[in-house]
Amino acid sequence: MMKSLFVTEDENAVMEQFEQEKQNEIAKEIGGQVSVPVVKQGWNEWAGSGVNNQRFQEKVARAEDIKKQKIDELRKKRADHKMRGVVVNTEDRDKKFAHKFWVKDLPHPYNSVEQY
């Protein structure tokens, strides 16, 4: 009941838009980390007019598949991989910034920092 209080548009459309933005951000972030060899036409094969380009297209497709597999592997290692509608911020810069706001002494009922 409270969930629909703040939603002004179709909830599924908003969630799909958020997930699409999340996937684009992840692909942009992880895509720069993944390196695959560049496939160039003419290296170790015949070139010129009348030559079948099927082998070259297969090499390009194979390189793209390898890149997609590497991106998927890195995507599965993220903390928010299975969480829908959540983006977990794990940047070290933010951890250093938040460190100055941590509590130095624990309140009375708590004995350790460990979460229960």
Instruction: Specify if 17 maps to a domain.
Output: yes
Per-residue pLDDT at 1: 43
Instruction: Specify if 80 maps to a domain.
Output: no
Instruction: Specify if 21 maps to a domain.
Output: yes
Instruction: Specify if 97 maps to a domain.
Output: no
Which domain does 21 fall in, by range?
12-40+52-74
Q: How many domains does the chain have?
A: 1
Give yes or no for a contact between 74 and 67, defined as CB atoms under 8 angstroms apart.
no
pLDDT at position 116 over 60: no
Angstrom distances, CA of residue 17 to CA of 46, 72, 109: 46, 20, 43
Instruction: Specify if 27 maps to a domain.
Output: yes
Instruction: Specify if 87 maps to a domain.
Output: no
pLDDT tens readout for residues 20-41: 888 888 888 887 777 777 887 7
Instruction: Specify if 16 maps to a domain.
Output: yes
- Determine what percent of the chain is predicted with pLDDT higher than 90: 3
Instruction: Specify if 60 maps to a domain.
Output: yes
In this prediction, residues 55-59 reach a mean pLDDT of 86
